[in-house]
Chains A and B, each alone.
Chain A
Amino acid sequence: MQYSLAENNEPEGSGQVKGKQKKKFVTAKTMPYLLLAPILILFSIFYVYPIIYSVLLSFQTRVRGEYVFAGLKNYSRLIEDPIFYKALGNSMIILVIQVPLMLTLAVLMAVALNSSFLKLKGLFRIGFFSPVLTSLVAASVIFMLLLNKDYGLFNYVITSIGFQPIGWLSDGYWPLVTLIIVTTWRWAGYNMVILLAGLQNISNDLYEAASIDGASKVKQFFYITLPQLKPVLLVTFIMSTIGSFQLFDEPYTLTGGGPNNRTLTLTLYLYQHGFTYFDFGYASAITYAVVLIVAILSIVQFKLAGEKE
């Protein structure tokens, strides 16, 4: 590598003959690439190469410790795998129920925290954001105590007002409900912060003009706040969609995907195959199925949001 930082683009006085000048390594054109080189090299090693390699791996299977080419076997196995569909179904339910629920909450919290009459804003903001910062392992230990069927606080409250105790982590659809509650608890604050930033970009003039025209607070919310927030909402929506397909920590620590796969998510399923059963070929195939689904959903969301403009 040649460094010629000392020589700049003005050759006068440098003693070099014009035309014979060596090609300089650092020029205005190459400088951005040089500055980006460290991150690009790391990105290639830790992202690009593994991404390409996992594509190859998804066409391989392991025989006595050696990976051999297996064609589309992993993918045809995936298409016939009922547990994969179960995990996909769970992720879809979370997408359809949890994401709108969480974003609605996040918008309401953001609007409340943005209002001028609220005292102790900082305290509330930290309070709502703190679940994001909490170690989920610690939180899930506490959740499991709270949700215990026989001695948990939740069931103590429920039974003391005359209802039957609920098997939060075992009965019927409750484990999935629990998962939705915990995921919402954890990520609503995160989305709230993003939305709050969006809210603060909305010009006060709009609200002023609306108040002068006699629009109620509710009307202002639906006709000013929401439309103005749309680009930010779209971002949070797409991120939450991707997040719900990558949901891992919460089911891993709370339920391990059980009982009978009722809280199994796609990422948890690929983790099981990759890291518990060492079947990296199949795990890679699941990964690419997830990638495909998320890509399609994101395109659909962009299109839907774009058409309304």
Chain B
Amino acid sequence: MKRFKLFTMLLITLLIVSACSSGNSNKDNEVAAPSDNPGEVSGDITVWAWALEAEYLSKTVIPAFTAEYPNIKVNMETIGNDQIYDKLTAGLAAGGSGLPDVTQIAVNKLPTFVNQFPKGFQEISNLGFDKHIGDFPESTIEAVKNLDGNVIAFPRDLGPVSVFYRVDIFEQAGVDPSTIVTWDDYIAAGKVIKEKTGVSMIGNRIGNQDDILRIMLQQQGKYYFDAEGKIDVNTVEMNRALAKIQEMNETGILLNTSNWDGQVAAMKNGKVATNPDAVWWSGTMLDQMPELSGKWGTFPLPVFKEGGVHAADNGGSALTILSSSKNKEAAYLFSEFASANTDMQLKALENHGLFPAYKAVYDEPYFNQNQEYFNNQPVFKQFAEVVKEIPPVNFTESNLVARQVATDQLSALILEGASPEKVIDNMKKQMAQQTGREAN
């Protein structure tokens, strides 16, 4: 019967983990820095990536890369996001068989993988990546280090956060977005818009995401963990964030969009007036709601107190070299080319809507251009400004557990009317229980 499949799958994975967990060796971590002569390096490498990144790598990077390194052949495999993690887990557990040389990985999943397979990923600091460190935001570099503090992944795209808003709906309600500075202003504007147009201010995939909470915490320099990795939810900042979310719900300006498709539909159908989220939404908006061109604009993330930080980061991915790679030199050159090259990074944004983590390109003229879709605003410049201010936070390898607990408790806050104090108390208990970490 089909229901037994999962059970069997778990057992088989356990078997593989057991058979091979001690098989990883560190000997391959000693690799010489790549040669400077492009013609000298040769070999085949395989790369895994999903969606937009896969398109970027295959259509933009590979042609340019093979022109420069004619003797390196790159095999691109486009694999779904979830499947990549399943295949990586199985391959790493089996001691590195069936794995590519380079793979894309979400930055927030990296610590979990690195903790489970400490020797599975190639350190790149000493391969020459150190010279690029200053070209990436500090918060991103911190997120791609392993337990020993060495960089193990090339940051690719980032998710700086601003508020996308519907220009036409704001005009109809007579609300000027430039007057929205604090979250209180945001809620007040939301009430006016709801009253005059019937449109909700914000959509939230309740039960499916904790994005808004993480954004509100990060802009205050906080996260679920502190710098030492202790659970850090019993804070004034957390209480403030939860109270604002609760207020949004109670004033009726928050629409429950249930899941990703619901959120896209709500935006497309004009059910929500704003979406405070990451720059990568622009890709989905251009793709799924082209008819709304010119009707969307952005304004900076509201703050809790005037003078507060308007910046947060939500999402982003990186390229990482697997320790099992037989051709690390070529893998390094390819990943470096795809992540720390001005021309490539510009094309990633221009052609594929992927906002580069590589800060060095932010001064390029493209960033200052007005975007027709976004009400002729220079939105990418605004997002680049955000990147400079993003406060670094400590994800830890318990990130996914903590996010699940926070998502659950956020549902309790919104759907069950739990108080922020109660939510904090539950979060603290459950996170401690689930992660075995100390709590502040």
Task: Spell out A's residues near B (CB within 8 Å).
Answer: 46-47, 49-51, 53-54, 57, 62, 64-67, 77, 80-83, 144, 148-151, 167, 169-172, 243, 246-249, 255-256, 258-261, 267, 270-272, 274-278, 280, 283-284, 287
A275 CA / B92 CA spacing, docked (Å): 13
Which of B4, B11, B430 meets A82, CB within 8 Å? B430
B12 touches A46 (CB 8 A): yes
B117 touches A149 (CB 8 A): no
A149 touches B258 (CB 8 A): yes
Contacts of B116 in A (CB 8 A): 62, 65, 278
Contacts of A51 in B (CB 8 A): 11
A91 CB to nearest B CB, Å: 13
A261 touches B3 (CB 8 A): no
B21 CB to nearest A CB, Å: 6
Contacts of A270 in B (CB 8 A): 10
Of the listed stretches B214-222, B325-333, B406-414, chain A binds B406-414
A161 CA / B3 CA spacing, docked (Å): 39
30 contacts across the A-B interface (CB closer than 8 A): A46-B15, A50-B15, A53-B11, A53-B15, A54-B11, A54-B14, A57-B18, A65-B21, A65-B118, A81-B434, A83-B434, A144-B259, A150-B262, A169-B207, A247-B3, A248-B3, A255-B207, A256-B208, A258-B411, A259-B408, A261-B408, A267-B6, A275-B13, A276-B400, A277-B112, A277-B400, A278-B115, A278-B116, A280-B14, A287-B7
A277 CB to nearest B CB, Å: 5
> With A77-B433, A150-B271 in contact, do A49 and B15 touch (Cβ < 8 Å)?
yes
| Nearest-neighbor residue (CB-CB) of B418 within chain A | A260
A275 CA / B13 CA spacing, docked (Å): 9
Interface string of B98-113 (1 = CB under 8 A from A): 0000000000000010
Which of B6, B10, B17, B408 meets A258, CB within 8 Å? B408
> With A64-B115, A246-B6 in contact, do A259 and B21 touch (Cβ < 8 Å)?
no
Task: Spell out B's residues near A (CB within 8 Å).
Answer: 2-4, 6-8, 10-15, 17-18, 21-22, 86, 89, 112, 115-119, 147, 206-208, 256, 258-259, 261-262, 265-266, 269, 271, 398, 400-401, 404, 407-409, 411-412, 415-416, 429-430, 433-434
| Nearest-neighbor residue (CB-CB) of A66 within chain B | B21
Contacts of B208 in A (CB 8 A): 256, 258-259
A184 CB to nearest B CB, Å: 15
